[in-house]
Amino acid sequence: MNTKLAGPAAAPTGGIRLLPLLAAIAIMLGITAWPAALSGPQGGANHWAAMALFWAMSAGFVRGVGFMPRHRAWRLMFSGGACLLGIALAAVRMALLNSPQ
């Protein structure tokens, strides 16, 4: 009798996605080498930009290695689109803070 086991093997799978993975690696290396990139004009840390960028990095690694969570909310939170959204939010936040007023 041949029975299939339900469990982790039954989770949805995906292949490696190169673009989110490369974005996550670039964020990781960039922030490690140049942490001052996330500081405001007065030199203080920009926590909102850092949070958006680290969310983008996390989403890029999760989606980039091919892991797809079972729950829909987690899948959306760690998707390639979430990676792009996090990068965009960080860029907008830094541009607004560093623009001349």
Mean pLDDT, rounded, for 90-98: 88
Half-sphere exposure in the Cβ direction for 77 (13 Å, CA): 9
Task: State pLDDT tens for residues 41-58.
Answer: 778 888 999 999 999 999
Mean pLDDT, rounded, for 1-8: 54
Q: How far apart are CA 50 and CA 92, in angstroms?
A: 12
Helices 18-33 and 47-64, interaxial angle, to 10°? 140
Q: How far is CA 89 from CA 8, 37, 75, 77, 82, in A?
A: 34, 15, 19, 14, 10
pTM: 0.80
Confidence of residue 7 (pLDDT cuts 50, 70, 90): low
Q: How far apart are CA 59 and CA 74, in angstroms?
A: 10
Q: How far apart are CA 30 and CA 36, in angstroms?
A: 10
In this model, does residue 79 exceed pLDDT 70? yes
